[in-house]
Amino acid sequence: MRRFSQRNSLVTLSDINITPLLDLAFVLLIIFVITTPLLEHSLPLNLPKGGQPDKPLSPKDIRTVEISAQGGYMLERQRMTLDQIEANLVKDHNANPNLVVNIRADEASRWKDVVAVMDRCQKNGITRLSPRLEPLKNR
């Protein structure tokens, strides 16, 4: 007598076919590769006319804060603490609302020292900050 085995029809598939998942991953990768450059470029805009032209800066409108690699602060070539710098910048900003703060930091300085100066300026309404960088040499 012949026995028919039902074992083949009851066996469950224990392997997952990852080919469709890989296809989906590659399609998404291609979509992101194509759309990312489009998101990075800004739109060509024609801005409306209006407002007042920017006033030229005079040397009396600029204050320079320097940060050493060790975390020391200087304002206008005078060594000061962060609290003293904040007090001087607030006083100068109240006297001259066009004040621009240049921030010069050593490339080995800690990021928290730079952010501390920026944070103190922002808290006191000094929003015109300018990080100073060394220009790249022509190659």
Q: How many structural domains compose the chain?
A: 1
Tell me the C-alpha distance between 130 and 104, whole Å. Answer: 9
Using one digit for the tens of pLDDT, what is the confidence trace for 56-77?
778 888 999 999 888 889 998 8
Instruction: Find out whether 99 and 68 touch, Cβ atoms under 8 Å.
Output: no
Is residue 51 included in any domain, yes or no?
A: no
Q: What range defines the domain where residue 99 resides?
A: 59-131
For residue 138, is pLDDT > 70? Answer: no
Is residue 40 included in any domain, yes or no?
A: no
Q: Tokens 């621009």 correspond to what residue?
A: 100
* CATH number of the domain residue 113 falls in: 3.30.420.270
Is residue 117 included in any domain, yes or no?
A: yes
Helix (H) or strand (E) holding 74: strand 73-75
Is residue 24 included in any domain, yes or no?
A: no
Using one digit for the tens of pLDDT, what is the confidence trace for 7-55?
555 566 677 788 888 999 999 999 888 887 766 555 555 656 766 666 6
Regarding pTM above 0.85, the answer is no
Is residue 22 included in any domain, yes or no?
A: no
